[in-house]
């Protein structure tokens, strides 16, 4: 235990040190909340996919997304996703292998969907419209929507 009379400047040093750290941490925007919420959405999607609920998985993750309007493209993607089990074997587990927030309104996530014979890489991009400008519409402002959803087996691309 320190005696006050022996180390009078210790408290001052600690306060100066904290004063240097805390303002820098406060200025940096935290993306933890956004990525946690979006990670949960992706995990729910992959869980439904692995349970054979492919269409429900896509319907849920694409709710409110402009991609949901592209019915033919989504139908083709659902059909391809339904073939994963046949091509790559039984689902084993999912693993997040990448996540990055770009600016304040774009989050990119990448997951490895481990199957018995080979993994599949799922790519997601979520976008949140900035608050509307005066005179603009409020449609979708502030909510995270999927703007990119795809999967591939280009495992070499992961090393690049």
What number is the average pLDDT over the span 13-40? Answer: 52
Q: Is the pLDDT of residue 135 over 60?
A: no
- What per-residue confidence (pLDDT) applies to 142? 73
- What per-residue confidence (pLDDT) applies to 130? 80
What pTM was computed for the model?
A: 0.75
pLDDT band at residue 9 using 50, 70 and 90 as cut-offs: very low
- What per-residue confidence (pLDDT) applies to 34? 83
Span 50-86, pLDDT tens digits: 999 999 999 999 999 999 999 999 999 999 999 999 9
Q: How many CB atoms lie within 10 A of CB 68?
A: 15
Q: Is the pLDDT of residue 44 over 60?
A: yes
Span 79-125, pLDDT tens digits: 999 999 999 999 999 999 999 999 999 999 999 999 999 999 999 99
Distances (CA, A) of 50 to 8, 81, 127: 63, 10, 25
Whether 99 and 111 have beta carbons less than 8 Å apart is answered as: no
Whether domain 30-133+141-159 has CATH 1.10.1740: the reply is no
- Extended strands (E) in 14-119: 91-102, 106-115
Span 18-28, pLDDT tens digits: 333 333 333 33
Dihedral-angle region of residue 78 (phi above 0 means left; psi in -120 to 50 means alpha; beta otherwise): alpha
- What per-residue confidence (pLDDT) applies to 137? 53
């Amino acid at each position: 235990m320190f005696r006050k009379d022996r180390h009078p400047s210790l408290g001052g040093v600690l306060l100066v040190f904290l004063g240097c750290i805390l303002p820098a941490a406060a200025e940096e925007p935290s993306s933890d909340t956004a990525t946690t919420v979006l990670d949960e959405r992706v995990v729910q999607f992959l869980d439904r996919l692995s349970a054979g609920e492919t269409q429900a998985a896509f319907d849920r993750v694409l709710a409110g997304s402009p991609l949901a309007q592209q019915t033919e493209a989504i139908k083709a993607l659902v059909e391809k996703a339904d073939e994963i089990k046949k091509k790559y074997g039984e689902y084993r587990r999912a693993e997040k292998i990448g996540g990055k927030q770009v600016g304040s309104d774009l989050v990119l996530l990448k997951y490895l969907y481990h199957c018995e014979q080979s993994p599949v890489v799922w790519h997601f991009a979520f976008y949140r419209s900035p608050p509307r400008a005066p005179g603009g519409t409020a449609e979708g402002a502030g909510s995270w929507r999927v703007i990119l959803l795809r999967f591939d087996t280009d495992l070499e691309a992961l090393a690049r």
